[in-house]
Amino acid sequence: MAKQSATKQLALLGGERVGTVEQPVFPYFTKRAKQRVLRLMEEGRVLGFSRAVPEVAEAEAALSKHHGGRHVLATSSGHSSLQMALAGLDIANGDEVITTPYSWGASTSCILHQNAIPVFADVNRNTGLLDAKQVEAKITNRTRAILPVHMYGHPADMTAIMGVADRHGLAVVEDCSQAHGATWKGVGVGNFGHANGFSCMGGKQLGTTEAGYMVTADKDVYWRAGLQCQHNARSTEVGFPDEYRPYVDSLLYSHRITAIDAALLTEQLKKLPREIDARRQNIDTLRSLLTDSQFLVWPKHSKHGDSSYYMWSMIFRRKQAGVSRDTFIKALQAEGLAATSYCPSPIPSWPRLHWQTYKGPRTIWHDNLRRAKVDYRKEVFPNAEFVINNGIQLIFRFYKPAPKMMQRIVDIVDKVESNIDALRAYERNPHAYSDVDLHTGTAYAPPSITSTGKKTT
């Protein structure tokens, strides 16, 4: 990458910023999508109880085709899709589900909300993805399932995970919330596990407003899940099992999708492949321009996986840089790059899981964890800690080619790296820069990530 002059003072220290890395407005809705939504609103048809609603039937059919003919249950969120995947697999009270400590909380809370027990296995140090060998070491006679997460759009090693599951007779639930369009050995994520969940909230690659869907090859999993979350209307569909009819009532979760989001799903799915291709193209451009970075390293993902890049994620070389990751991020933000650290700490360290010491509002899972004699406070996850403490992430919404913005990202990284000595001095003695307003000055506010066409301050 072209080197910036080290004489150009860091924006963090009062210099002029490189410029905001402007991302396009996202999600982007086509004219047809907006027309369909407006028509539904004008007609007052917003509820999506079941496939009796044309938009729900259409969306689930389109998604089923996308997943090779598997059964699809549209839901209200990614979290609800994961919980219903577990429910459809009859995983509940006291069952153990092995998952990752490095993720968004929904991959754990879906287990807790089924009164099941999360068991955490460490991740691969290079990728941050669930490590199949670590999973196998955590299996007990109470283990019922494995729940891997395809973080940032990078597919987990589904060959290894399915191998562990097959050897021990376990179910697999893929959390595909960040991975629409990603593949493992050419097969789309969500097509490996026994029941899998996708988030379709507005920030995801397949973004609506707030929605999700469960996908499974097992029709009984579909019916059991639908029985528990869809306002009992799924029982009117063709093929509903007679043995479940005595249990049809309204004692359920209202995890149903709206007709509006169902219509949006159908339309958004049409353009997903080309948008994923553009994300990959932009990452390829970024990778080619960042080959000489001193302090940022690309995670070593398997050649068998093809990511869909919900986020751009890098490993920061803290020892070589001589500054903390957070200081480096602060300098990137000041120059105009809205970089961040996505996961604050391993999930098992979060206070709401520690029933032994918890003093906050009551939860629905503490009694269950107490009965299982779980003590997450004693557990350590060195690989997850490494990825958390050294990772730098950027929400990546570049769904069309953006070579100028890729170059701007590189220019910002280059400028910060070229001024690393000044950044080291700042970290040693930040009070020496007290005349610089690091909080309210226009040169230092982290930029918006959805500011196409407008410069932020």
6 occurs within a structural domain = no
Q: Could you give the CA distance from residue 174 to residue 187 in angstroms, rounded to a whole number?
A: 13
pLDDT at 364: 95
255 occurs within a structural domain = yes
Q: What is the pLDDT of residues 133-150, one digit of tens each?
A: 999 999 999 999 999 999
User: Does 439 score more than 50 pLDDT?
Assistant: no
Which pLDDT band, with edges at 50, 70 and 90, does 452 fall under?
A: very low
Per-residue pLDDT, averaged over 57-75, amounts to 98
Q: What is the pLDDT of residues 171-214, one digit of tens each?
A: 999 999 999 999 999 999 999 999 999 999 999 999 999 999 99
H helix intervals, 251-349: 259-289, 318-321, 325-335
Chain centroid to CA 240: 33
Share of the chain above pLDDT 70, in %: 93
Residues 6 or more apart from 114 whose CB is under 8 A from it? 83, 86, 87, 91, 92, 95
Q: What is the pLDDT of residues 356-372, one digit of tens each?
A: 999 999 999 999 999 99
- For residue 242, the tally of other CB atoms under 10 A from its CB is 6
- 8 Å CB contact between 172 and 148: yes
**Is 361 exposed, middle or buried (CB count within 10 Å of its CB: 0-12, 13-18, 19+)?**
exposed
- For residue 216, the tally of other CB atoms under 10 A from its CB is 26
pLDDT at 154: 98
Q: Could you give the CA distance from residue 315 to residue 32 in angstroms, rounded to a whole number?
A: 41
Q: What is the pLDDT of residues 233-278, one digit of tens each?
A: 899 999 999 999 999 999 999 999 999 999 999 999 999 999 999 9
- 8 Å CB contact between 417 and 295: yes
Residues 6 or more apart from 144 whose CB is under 8 A from it? 89, 91, 95, 96, 97, 116, 170, 171
Provide the domain limits for residue 204. Answer: 31-269
Which pLDDT band, with edges at 50, 70 and 90, does 431 fall under?
A: confident
Say which CATH number the domain at 248 has: 3.40.640.10
Dihedral sign (CA 84, 90, 92, 98)? negative
Tokens of 204: 């995801």
pLDDT at 1: 58
Q: What is the pLDDT of residues 4-25, one digit of tens each?
A: 555 589 999 999 999 999 999 9
Total structural domains in the chain? 1
- 8 Å CB contact between 85 and 216: yes
Tokens of 296: 């940022």
Strand partners, 71: 216
User: Does 415 score more than 50 pLDDT?
Assistant: yes
Phi, psi of 219 (to 5 degrees): -65, -30
Phi, psi of 5 (to 5 degrees): -70, 135
Residue 403: cis peptide before it, omega within 30 degrees of 0: no
Q: Could you give the CA distance from residue 214 to residue 275 in angstroms, rounded to a whole number?
A: 22
